[in-house]
Structure 1
């Protein structure tokens, strides 16, 4: 579960030092502490401070507190820092009701928080999409507040996110079988801008869902253009598509230990050219297309010296592809073959892999059939 999603145009990383932010789980925990404190004391503070798993102590102003009858409810406005997180600015609320001693903590999904419907995720079907780490953080603050007031921590915790159902459409939740809203996430409570770890964790959860559903064929694609092309080629359910983005290594290394029968690995020519040379992180800021190697490939496939010179003098991989296409050199298939070899090695030959290479318009320019 994640708040990020692959698009053809990834957000550009700002220059300079980046400001950290707070996860949805952190905000839900802060709202829970503030609401439970108010429920027990009868008063609202101006702000609330929580202690995160690694010792940080962020403070949050309260949004729209409400103390009425047997419940207290309050919101926290999420600040994701400089991360391009779709939940930045979201209004995350916690409503707390006391339960009889011994009842434990009962989590409920309010408006805008999703409910898990498929197996394979850290939370079982039927439960609110509140991940284990935020649940543990929430239970910890309930215990702390209860101890400070000399009472028991048993409570019903309803987490909601205003507009969460709309926000969820820009996440992977619908594909993972999380319906009705976003997930409450975070292990440390901190959002690290442009975090690779968050994306790779979401890839892993997608594979877990595929395996739990008994789906034997999945597709990992670098973006929406290639995904649409693969969807037209293979009749796969929506959840069988893995939003790989630039993280080919994140997919292949996880499948090495959590295999399925067949994987279609698809991407644009430039990214697959990087994979063909052994790069597992396909981001333009972390790996570059080697035009010299493309020129060498073109010559090996029958291209002349003039073609090689033109490729080396070019600016982009797509320019090299266009030059080879015009000269009748099947460089796309050559890239597909080499990329498939790399993918098979990284997955330890545990799965059969089909490799598909597309141009920017979604036209197939290279392929290799399933091979193990």
Structure 2
């Protein structure tokens, strides 16, 4: 996932869309191929996106040499908190053997796939299928206009991509050496969360391809560390699902795993227990009334039930309900929500609730999970 934290836009201002790395690489490839054939770089360069949009890109780099041309575009991700915003995306185009078509190479800052389960085979440059399709179309367009064959090699590079990749999912997905060239529409929709959910799906795919019998999905770093202390799972068997437990469970309906442990802070897990599948603080809140009802079911006194109902935070409720095992009740109800969301898919589920120090305070699993 090529996203990272950034300051949000000013309240009330419309969010500005941006362009994917795939769109930038396509525009750079088109400009470079035109220069290779004609000696002149088009600036700006226009491309056609999959939905018919025709954006133009200004060139930040133009270079010609013996048998090659290279163009670069500074990525503008709009108002999306994307770690590749401002990165220089470059495409170097060289003529290839007649009849060879368009081939791709990973240049500096673009990763290479090393694990099965992704849309690309191990050994392939991490240039996703849709950006490849876009680049092939752009090359074909120029070739038709210039009367050329369109047989080329495209090497895509991203300045500082190897460092930026450490802020993404790529190392966990087995993509080494840099970033992925992503984008299905060419357009970055601000705060759409699509990149994160895409990464969750690819994490499941990699785990399935590896044949892991047990996979962990965590809300954040603290809960993932707690999960790891329990099971010592390999990194590629860990899914950073963030707040998108619903996105994970929906994908697992059609792409099941044998055993899944969901881990999160008590407050987040209490939202799942209450039936929420989006755990973001801006889209769901801890329901103190729900927690007090669970406490009552656990035999809490009327006084304790009332105090939990009035608790200002999930942490306060956790502390109040410690003696009656409130966290275990929350984990059990969260597990029930997850099982319901799977719609009968045969995934054995465990849920862990952890406190802020990373200690497991609530746990729920069935006998089949424990025996496996």
| Interval of TM-score (by shorter of Structure 1 and Structure 2) | over 0.9
Aligned counterpart in structure 2 of residue 143 of structure 1, from 123, 140, 145: 140
Deviations 1:317-341 (A, max 9, x none): 111112222xx12100000111111
For the pair 1:333 / 2:328, whether they are aligned, the reply is yes
Deviation at 1:123, TM superposition (A): 0.6
For residues 1-372 of structure 1, the aligned pairs below 5 Å read 2-4=1-3, 13-14=8-9, 15-16=11-12, 17-325=14-322, 328-347=323-342, 348-370=344-366
TM-score, with normalisation over the residues of structure 2?
A: 0.95
Instruction: Find the aligned partners of 2:15 and 2:35 in 1 and give their Cα distance.
Output: 35
- Please say if residues 120 and 128 of structure 2, whose CA atoms lie closer than 8 Å, have aligned partners that are also in contact: yes
Matched-pair contact (CA < 8 Å) for 1:109–1:159: yes
- SS of the equivalent of 1:175 reads coil
Aligned-partner SS, 2:324: coil
The superposition leaves residues 150-192 of structure 1 with CA deviations (integer Å, 9 ceiling, x where unpaired) of 1111100000011100000000000100000000000000001
CA–CA separation in structure 2 for the residues paired with 1:355 and 1:103: 52
Q: Distance in 1 between matches of 2:8 and 2:339?
A: 32
**Cα displacement (A) at 1:4:** 3.0
* Cα distance in 2, alignment partners of residues 175 and 352 from structure 1: 23
> What is the alpha-carbon distance in structure 1 between the residues aligned to residue 232 and residue 82 of structure 2?
31
The CA distance in 1 between the partners of 2:131 and 2:8, in whole Å, is 27
In the alignment, is the contact (CA less than 8 A) between 1:355 and 1:370 conserved in 2? no
Which 4+ stretches in 1 moved above 3 angstroms?
10-14
Cα RMSD for the two superposed structures: 1.4
List alignment gaps of at least 5 residues for structure 2.
none
Contact kept, 8 Å, 1:226 with 1:267, in 2: the verdict is yes
Distance, in Å, in 2 between the alignment partners of 1:107 and 1:213 is 26
Q: What is the Cα deviation at residue 349 of structure 1?
A: 4.8
Note closer, same or farther for the CA distance 1:107–1:371 as it changes in structure 2 (3 Å cut): farther
Secondary structure at 2:171's aligned position in 1?
A: helix
